Amino acid sequence: MRNIFTITSQRVSGIRTGKITLGGKTMTTPAIINATSRGAIPHVTHDLLADLAIPPARFLNMGDFLDTSKIIQEHGSVESFLGTQDILFGGLGHIKSGSNKSVEYKSMLQSHVGSRQMKITEYTELCKAVKTDICLPLYDVPPTEDIAKSRAFKSIQRTETYLKEMIGNFENVFGVVSASSKDLAQSLLEMLAKYPTLTGLAFNVPISVIPQLNIPDEFKEKPLMYLKPIKGTDLKDLLNLGFDLFIVDVHKEYTEKGIAVVGNSEEEKSINLNDECHVEDAKPLVNDCKCYACEHHIRAYINHLLKTREMLGFVLLQIHNIHHLNQLLVSLINKSS
Ligand SMILES: [Zn+2]
């Protein structure tokens, strides 16, 4: 494993800027990485993506490739299968706490066709076939309530077993910290510190727990990713805590529900474009937003598109939502300089 991350500035607020360079691909951080559906960002075509000027990175839910891994393998890699140059992160996507009832060498894998149990070696084969740039191992998701010491010990043991399997097979692997309590999260960090060649860390931990954690020196200069679903209002806290990468499923959280996110970093607001009050609403989603949707269309039109189930309604909402969250991040970074 090699170092793919360079910190370019460290600010008093805690915010740091950096760069990830990997096999000729580069992205700057902090960055929002879009969750995908089967590798694609829903409703966004390749040319739209270029216009959106978002970080060249995607998060792939490995469960989405269970039925296509063979054809991807024949094709060489998921990068050429998808026709993208983005830096590709592969893992299990967002997992709700407690839903991953993993046993010693098996884990529940979430996919678009539901969840199914998967042997640890099967996951390795899947990752080998898909070949993302960065792999997240399977990890144990303990229940949210306080757990007994013996259960916590087992959880760490399982996560370590999954991790070892990945380290033995892949070059760029993130260690995963998945816990609801400070104690378990800290114990996991100490276990992960035994593997200083890890590329970075990914946290499936409540934001409130993070300030209480002592991140081992081994990881101080490695990229930190936040895995739990976030809102725009969480960005400031996570940036100040030194996080570099955020996974956001814009489509599921907002667009699919007909929602435009319009809040700022202090207060998250949203507009439900399905609401009747927008039938004659001639305003853009956000007055001063510079996205294509806001510059060219009004709320009444998007309401009309949603009602007639025109795909364009989701396209416009998706453009706005992705643009808005990325602008929010950029403004927070700029404010801190
Ligand atoms: Zn907009």
pLDDT in tens, the chain (337 residues): 568 999 999 999 899 999 999 989 999 999 999 999 999 999 988 888 888 889 999 999 998 898 899 999 999 999 999 999 999 999 976 554 434 454 445 556 555 566 667 778 888 999 999 999 999 998 888 777 777 888 888 889 989 998 999 998 999 999 999 999 999 999 999 999 999 999 999 999 999 999 999 999 999 999 999 998 888 889 999 999 999 999 998 888 899 999 999 988 788 789 999 999 999 999 999 999 999 999 999 999 999 999 999 999 999 999 999 999 999 999 999 988 6
Confirm whether pTM is higher than 0.95: no
Domain boundaries, the chain: 5-253, 258-337
Q: How far is the CA of 288 from the centre of ligand 1 (A)?
A: 8
Q: How far is the CA of 49 from the centre of ligand 1 (A)?
A: 15
Q: Of 28, 34, 62, 65, give the one whose Cα is nearest residue 49.
A: 34
Q: How far is the CA of 294 from the centre of ligand 1 (A)?
A: 4
Q: How far is the CA of 6 from the centre of ligand 1 (A)?
A: 32
Residues 38-74 as b/e (b if ≥16 CB within 10 A, e otherwise) read bbbbbbbeeeebeebebbbbbbbbbbbbbebbeebbe
Q: How far is the CA of 125 from the centre of ligand 1 (A)?
A: 41
Q: How far is the CA of 95 from the centre of ligand 1 (A)?
A: 29
Q: How far is the CA of 317 from the centre of ligand 1 (A)?
A: 8
For residue 137, cis peptide bond before it (omega within 30 degrees of 0) = no
Ion ligand 1 residue ranges (Cβ < 5 Å): 289, 291, 294, 320
Q: How far is the CA of 102 from the centre of ligand 1 (A)?
A: 41
**Which residues are CB-contacts of 298 (< 8 A; sequence separation ≥ 6)?**
281, 282, 283, 284
Q: How far is the CA of 285 from the centre of ligand 1 (A)?
A: 6
Domain 5-253 has CATH 3.20.20.105: yes
Q: How far is the CA of 90 from the centre of ligand 1 (A)?
A: 29
Q: How far is the CA of 301 from the centre of ligand 1 (A)?
A: 14
Type of residue found at 230 = I
Tokens 């409703």, residue located: 43
Q: How far is the CA of 131 from the centre of ligand 1 (A)?
A: 34
Q: Could you tell me the CA-to-CA distances from 125 to 66, 82, 236, 304 in Å, in that order?
A: 10, 19, 38, 46
CA distance 320 to 325: 9
